[in-house]
């Protein structure tokens, strides 16, 4: 049985070129700053993001938490979206590790309106906890892979800075955001104080994320990374794959977006789903399975038995993520199975 894995872009396998680069990598002790491959990756990442410095870390979760712990202190607060990765998926590390209390705001795009955060930014810091940080996410996973528009990014970042509050951007899929918006990555990161992004999602590296910011910020972040156990030794072995990811895999992300639109357009033909393809501009498509009479976990299990692996957000929302390991033939195969399964489910529930 043919299997198409659309659970996430994290399931991607490293390319042959990545594997060769890993085998041939020149390494040293990164904790002494002597791994030339890691240094090359960090320099390239900082340049691409328009920041002074960068730090290679094992995961996106660590990258976000290193950023939070560098920007904020115990007892501070940070503004986060209710569906953000930092708040929803990182095992409460924002509080458990950083000692920071999240202020949760909810906006359908994942990026708050200025009116939602102004009160918290201007509160009297003698009476209330200091709001040290505003956390943003682009593209936004649980909001259907939406990118934050440049105007909105600039507006909320400038508002935060007016109140001496830093901005951290969780840009795990920031290259997808740039592709969808038709802009440079630097234009997205311009107003953020720090940015994290993943090498191991759509870019297909086996492991690793990058945190970028000012020289002073990254110097402090190195200490925090060590505190969290993220100090690595001959990590050029995995950094080598990251270099291939940044130099060879960024441009192909548009293929994933085309494939996601194919899926969205075919699902939109099923009237009951009430799905609008334009709501999914990157590589993530989400639909409400309850509208055809089945819980999301049950639908995902049925699809798996037919060879299509999906994920779900909750009892209603099924998530589909296109990735480099699923070519157009695989996508069309998956579409055929999903459409058939949805129609069968719909007819049975009626």
Q: Are strands 101-105 and 77-81 parallel, antiparallel or unpaired?
A: parallel
Q: Decide: 303 and 309 in contact? Cβ < 8 Å.
A: yes
Which has the closest alpha carbon to 235: 56, 19, 59, 62?
A: 56
Angle separating helix axes 236-248 and 16-24, nearest 10 degrees: 140
- Amino acid 115: pLDDT: 95
Q: Domains along the chain?
A: 11-248 (3.40.640.10), 252-349 (3.90.1150.10)
pLDDT tens per residue, the chain (350 residues)? 899 999 999 999 999 999 999 999 999 999 998 999 999 999 999 999 999 999 999 999 999 999 999 999 999 999 999 999 999 999 999 999 999 999 999 999 999 999 999 999 999 888 999 999 999 999 999 999 999 999 999 999 999 999 999 999 999 999 999 999 999 999 999 999 999 999 999 999 999 999 999 999 999 999 999 999 999 999 999 999 999 999 999 999 999 999 999 999 999 999 999 999 999 999 999 999 999 999 999 999 999 999 999 999 999 999 999 999 999 999 999 999 999 999 998 777 66
Nearest to 88 by CA among 313, 322, 281: 313
**CA–CA separation, 174 and 289 (whole Å):** 28
Tell me, what's the pLDDT at 283?
98
CA 34 to chain centre: 29
Q: What is the pLDDT of residue 350?
A: 60
pLDDT the model gives residue 349: 63
Residues 64-81: pLDDT tens digits? 999 999 999 999 999 999
pTM over 0.75: yes
The residues near 122 (Cβ < 8 Å, ≥ 6 apart) are 163
Tokens 């990811």, located at residue: 245
Task: Give the torsion sign (CA, 90, 195, 46, 182).
Answer: positive
How high is the pLDDT of residue 1?
A: 85
CB 31 within 8 A of CB 55: no
Beta strands in the chain (DSSP E): 4-5, 53-57, 77-81, 101-105, 131-137, 166-170, 194-198, 209-213, 284-288, 308-309, 311-312, 317-321
């Amino acid at each position: 049985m043919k299997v198409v894995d659309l659970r996430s872009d994290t399931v991607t396998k490293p390319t042959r070129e990545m594997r060769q680069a890993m085998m041939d990598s020149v390494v040293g002790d990164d904790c002494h700053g002597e791994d030339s491959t890691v240094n090359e990756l960090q320099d390239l990442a900082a340049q691409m993001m328009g920041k002074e410095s960068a730090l290679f870390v094992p995961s996106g979760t660590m990258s976000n938490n290193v950023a939070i712990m560098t920007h904020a202190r115990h007892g501070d607060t940070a503004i986060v979206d209710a569906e953000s990765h930092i708040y929803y998926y990182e095992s409460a590390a924002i509080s458990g590790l950083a000692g920071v209390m999240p202020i949760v705001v909810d906006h359908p795009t994942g990026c708050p309106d200025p009116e939602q955060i102004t009160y918290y930014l201007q509160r009297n810091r003698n009476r209330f906890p200091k709001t040290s940080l505003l956390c943003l996410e682009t593209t936004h996973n649980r909001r259907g892979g939406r990118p934050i528009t440049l105007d909105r990014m600039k507006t909320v970042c400038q508002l935060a800075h007016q109140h001496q509050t830093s901005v951290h951007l969780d840009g795990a899929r920031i290259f997808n955001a740039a592709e969808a918006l038709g802009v440079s990555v630097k234009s997205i990161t311009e107003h953020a104080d720090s940015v994290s992004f993943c090498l191991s999602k759509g870019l297909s590296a086996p492991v690793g994320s990058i945190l970028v910011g000012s020289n002073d910020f990254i110097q402090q972040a190195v200490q925090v990374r060590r505190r969290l156990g993220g100090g690595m030794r001959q990590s050029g072995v995995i950094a080598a794959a990251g270099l291939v990811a940044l130099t060879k895999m960024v441009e192909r992300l548009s293929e994933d977006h085309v494939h996601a639109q194919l899926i969205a357009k075919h699902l939109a033909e099923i009237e009951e789903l009430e799905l609008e393809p334009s709501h999914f501009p990157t590589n993530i498509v989400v639909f409400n399975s309850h509208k055809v009479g089945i819980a999301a976990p049950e639908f995902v299990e049925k699809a798996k038995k037919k060879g299509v692996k999906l994920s779900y957000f909750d009892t209603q929302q099924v998530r589909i993520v296109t990735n480099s390991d699923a070519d157009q033939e695989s996508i069309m195969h998956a579409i055929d199975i999903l459409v058939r399964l949805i129609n069968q489910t719909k007819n049975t529930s009626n």
